[in-house]
Amino acid sequence: MKMAKLVFDTSSLISVSENCLMRIISAISSEKNAELIIPEGVYYESVAHPLQIRRFELNALRIKDAVDSGAIKIMKLNAAAKNSAKSIESLANNLFEISGEKISLVHAGEIETLALSHSINADLIVMDERTTRMLVEDAYRLRDRMEEKYESKVDIDTEKLAELQGMFAGAKIVRSVELIAYAYEKGYFEPELKKTRLALEAALYAAKYGGCAVSLEEIQQFLKSAR
């Protein structure tokens, strides 16, 4: 069976670890057909850096343990991925403009995740952050949102957008809430939590209030159909 490659960004990793749900990561990783990967920059942001700050040490240790146990693999950007990163940065950060002013939307951390996903042809990108996800999935909606907030016309460079969309055609993005929903179905909450609807609901809300870009409506809609 083909090994599924899931590339995580910092937001999703923090979200999962913050809610003491690292066992989900270990359980998915132990399915033997999934490879959970983070770029070096994500390791720095979620482990190496916060380990130096008392308030954030515990969370960083949870992620470090998952890396040390082999549940999460750190991957360096090779030359091709570095080239992809350059292209993504140039496209994403020159895509929108207001009154001739280009808007620098995304940062090296998010770019690294996208570049690695692109270069290894990842099956899924795991990302709780909203802007980068919308950039890949629906740049026009992101543009509309920015127009609303800035109360100004936001122009899109359609050639750059086409190129960016070409790089991520078919890319699938999931968030920590989908990992939680999957873990619930598979019984991965146990033994810490019983497989109950209440446990699912609590875990989904915890992810949302931890910063996962998911709406209350989405959660409520999903819970209606969840068994």
Partner 1 sequence: MEPSQKLLEFVRRMEGAFGKQSIIELKDISNDAIQLAALKSSHLLSEVSLIAYSLHKLLTKVHIAESGEWDALRDEIEKDLDSALEMIGKNDLKGFEKALHGVIGGIAAVDSELGNYVQGTYDKARIKQASRAYSFGISLSRAAELTGADKKELLQYIGATKMHDEEIVKFGIGERLKELKKALGK
CA distance 179 to 56: 23
Q: Is 101 exposed, middle or buried (0-12, 13-18, 19+ CB in 10 A)?
A: exposed
* Least Å from the CB of residue 159 to partner 1: 21
* Least Å from the CB of residue 78 to partner 1: 22
CA distance 11 to 107: 13
* Least Å from the CB of residue 101 to partner 1: 6
Q: Closer to partner 1 at the Cβ: 90 or 131?
A: 131
Closest by CA to 172, choosing from 5, 41, 30, is: 5
* Least Å from the CB of residue 190 to partner 1: 18
* Least Å from the CB of residue 17 to partner 1: 9
* Least Å from the CB of residue 47 to partner 1: 12
Written as one letter, the residue type at 80 is A
Query: Residues in the chain, how many?
Result: 227
Written as one letter, the residue type at 94 is N
Token pair 């270069």: residue: 119
Q: Closer to partner 1 at the Cβ: 79 or 115?
A: 115
Q: Is the peptide bond between 39 and the residue preceding it cis, with omega within 30 degrees of 0?
A: no
Q: Is 169 exposed, middle or buried (0-12, 13-18, 19+ CB in 10 A)?
A: exposed
Q: Closer to partner 1 at the Cβ: 2 or 76?
A: 2
CA distance 223 to 205: 11
Binding site for partner 1 (CB under 8 A): 1-2, 4, 6, 10-11, 14-15, 18, 28, 31, 33-34, 45, 50, 53, 56, 59, 96, 98, 101, 103-110, 123-124, 128-132, 137-138, 141-142, 145-146, 149-150, 172-175, 177-179, 181-182, 204, 208-219, 221-222, 225
Q: Closer to partner 1 at the Cβ: 42 or 193?
A: 42
Q: Closer to partner 1 at the Cβ: 79 or 216?
A: 216
* Least Å from the CB of residue 219 to partner 1: 7
Q: Closer to partner 1 at the Cβ: 23 or 128?
A: 128
Closest by CA to 87, choosing from 109, 124, 126, 114, is: 114
Q: Closer to partner 1 at the Cβ: 79 or 100?
A: 100
**Residue 111 near residue 135, CB atoms below 8 Å:** no
